[in-house]
A and B are shown apart, each in its own frame.
Chain A
């Protein structure tokens, strides 16, 4: 049996992508439950890292395809829309997470930030399912 390096590369990207998904949703949900400033700051770093990992690993799927076949995945219609939603979620999520870290928002505003981050995480994960089954 020979090891298929292409599938191994996709699998590693998928593992990283999955853990990024756990970080963005789990981090935001935990931040809504634990209000201590120190914990929230750590969670903001976790969520920021999660969104950056999501973006990088998502792009890696396309990069692996390009490396092996000099072509990107061929997706159309609903799948393209779902991918676009994921990209927008990642951009907004990273921005909001950075805002949690570097903007001096009030307690109420911070809670809305976390709610928005939670919503973006759920939306991105839902879009991932649509992308998976409509492509």
Chain B
């Protein structure tokens, strides 16, 4: 019984960082995926991020180019006007050395 408790304790210790890493989450509430945006307007990106383990801040990308570095985990970022056509907007979690840690959320929008 004592050995079993010890085993459970060790497993919990190992599993804890994994669980923390799994908490990382990115939500983009606006614009919605597939939304049609006004090409003449500056559009806002509303987001809510949970960093989880290893992440320090977020990078925002528009069509693969870095558009912003944000340290606020929940907020709104005003994007430059988008040229007419399809675009991809991504948020990536990065570590303190600005390296993407593999957690990202991307949406596709169309500016008209």
Contact = CB atoms under 8 A, between A and B. Distances in A.
Q: Do A and B come from one complex?
A: yes
Interface of A: 2, 6-7, 10, 61, 64-65, 68-69, 71-77, 135
A74 B100 CA distance: 7
B17 A73 contact: no
Contacts of B98: 73-75, 135
Contacts of B96: 7, 10
A65 B95 contact: yes
4 nearest A-B pairs in the assembled complex, by CB-CB distance: A65-B99, A73-B98, A76-B66, A73-B99
Contacts of A65: 95, 97, 99
Interface residues of B, number: 18
Contacts, number: 39
Nearest to B14: A2
Contact of B17 (A2, A10, A74, A77): A2
Given A10-B97, A69-B95, A74-B98, 6 more contacts: A69-B100, A71-B99, A74-B100, A75-B98, A76-B65, A76-B66
A88 to B, nearest CB: 21
Nearest to B69: A135
Among A6, A64, A77, A135, the most chain B Cβ lie within 10 Å of the Cβ of: A6
